[in-house]
Amino acid sequence: MRAPGDRCGRGDRAGQVLREPTARDLAAAVGLDLAGVAGRAACDLLVVGAGPAGLAAAVYGASEGLDVVLVDDVAPGGQAGTSSRIENYLGFPRGVSGRELARSGMVQAVKFGARLVCPRSVTGLSRGPDGFLVRLDDQTEVTARAVVVASGVRYRRLAAIAGVADLEGRGVYYAATEIEARACLGREVVVVGGANSAGQAALFLARHADRVHVLIRRDDLTETMSSYLAQRLTHHDRIVVHPRSQLIAAHGEDRLDHLTWRDEVAGREVHVEAGGLFLMIGAVPRTGWLRAAGVELDDKGFVATHNAFETSVPGVFAVGDVRAGSVKRVASAVGEGSVVVSAVHRYLAST
């Protein structure tokens, strides 16, 4: 359990003015840092990633008496945190934004005593005399008796397509939140992707944009999107789904102003003036740091798990989107994050 004085910063710098702060400076100011405990930070359970799976593991671990450290390289929420509205999550018939769900989960985890540390990236994992040594990007090491990997995935980018990389953040986006939607008010926008995240983004943007074009490579949405979302997109008067269509180029000087895609059905190129391009084309697992630790990955880099979410390294578990064969849904990620804590308890008891 937690040793006396072994605490993260508490945000004791209230009232101090920070000039041109980095993300880490801000984190230290509000207490989301390991400042003051470097070299002796230790915990029962270290959770890597503060998406729905990681937050659930932190909540259930801390509420059941484990000393939990939760590390994330950006902020709580993960990929789900960028969803404007999640409508099929149990208990929220009117839907809930990913940001709201993440904020509530974070507050709940901290209430039970979990220590949230961000922005920090995990760069290495090795065996130590007291469990595992988890190395962070600033060379700090945290000793953990068990590790839960919930590092999720990162968005795929279309950097090879002309203009996309140059216009990222200036009309080209990887999330559809209120901020991006306001920039596209009354204009046409394009969403690329056919999974649930693309469907949720299209429905949200249709409340602000004049028209939403959804580009998919398949003939229809049925293979990649939940039925309720596919039906809403198909029958929405401001959403047009373009099957077998691929983006060719993004154009603009200071910001995006129009797009070109290839319509294979019609056999022609389409040019549209657009205020926003939203890329929802899947993601790749964030597992590069696990290879050197001997954790088994599949051919796509997802973590292979066996009984009770345990990996090929005893004491290291994987849950959520980063796990091979997982169901890419918020509810399943939360379920895995909560269930894995029982396996962690069994492992700790055996050691």
Beta strand pairing call for 211-215 and 258-263: unpaired
Q: How far apart are CA 55 and CA 335, in angstroms?
A: 11
**Are 29 and 145 within one domain?**
yes
- Residue 329's pLDDT is 84
**Are 131 and 49 within one domain?**
yes
pLDDT in tens, 94-152: 889 888 999 999 999 999 999 998 888 999 999 988 899 999 988 889 999 999 999 99
Instruction: Show which of 254, 279, 304 is a domain's final residue.
Output: 279
**Are 148 and 177 within one domain?**
no
**Are 118 and 208 within one domain?**
no
Whether 83 and 197 have beta carbons less than 8 Å apart is answered as yes
**Are 273 and 289 within one domain?**
no
**Are 53 and 135 within one domain?**
yes
Q: State which residues form the domain around 74.
A: 23-155+283-350
Instruction: Show which of 249, 279, 309 is a domain's final residue.
Output: 279
Indicate whether 342 belongs to any domain.
yes
- Residue 294's pLDDT is 94
Indicate whether 3 belongs to any domain.
no
- Residue 6's pLDDT is 42
Per-run averaged pLDDT (10 residues), the chain, 351 residues: 41 65 62 51 94 97 97 83 79 89 94 91 92 91 96 85 91 87 94 93 95 96 92 96 97 94 96 95 87 93 94 97 89 96 97 87
Instruction: Show which of 234, 258, 279 is a domain's final residue.
Output: 279
- Residue 282's pLDDT is 77
**Are 108 and 65 within one domain?**
yes
- Residue 217's pLDDT is 94
> What is the number of domains present in the chain?
2
- Residue 5's pLDDT is 39
**Are 90 and 47 within one domain?**
yes
User: Torsion angle of alpha carbons 27, 28, 33, 35, nearest 10°?
Assistant: 170
**Are 261 and 291 within one domain?**
no
Indicate whether 10 belongs to any domain.
no
**Are 255 and 227 within one domain?**
yes
Could you give the angle at which helices 227-235 and 196-205 cross, rounded to 10 degrees?
A: 40
**Residue 170 belongs to domain with CATH number:** 3.50.50.60
pLDDT in tens, 154-185: 878 887 899 999 998 899 998 888 888 988 99
Count of alpha carbons within 13 angstroms of residue 100, beta-carbon side? 11
**Are 181 and 270 within one domain?**
yes
User: Torsion angle of alpha carbons 262, 192, 187, 239, nearest 10°?
Assistant: 90
Q: How far apart are CA 29 and CA 18, in angstroms?
A: 9
Q: How far apart are CA 122 and CA 316, in angstroms?
A: 14
- Residue 71's pLDDT is 95
Whether 117 and 144 have beta carbons less than 8 Å apart is answered as no
**Are 27 and 147 within one domain?**
yes
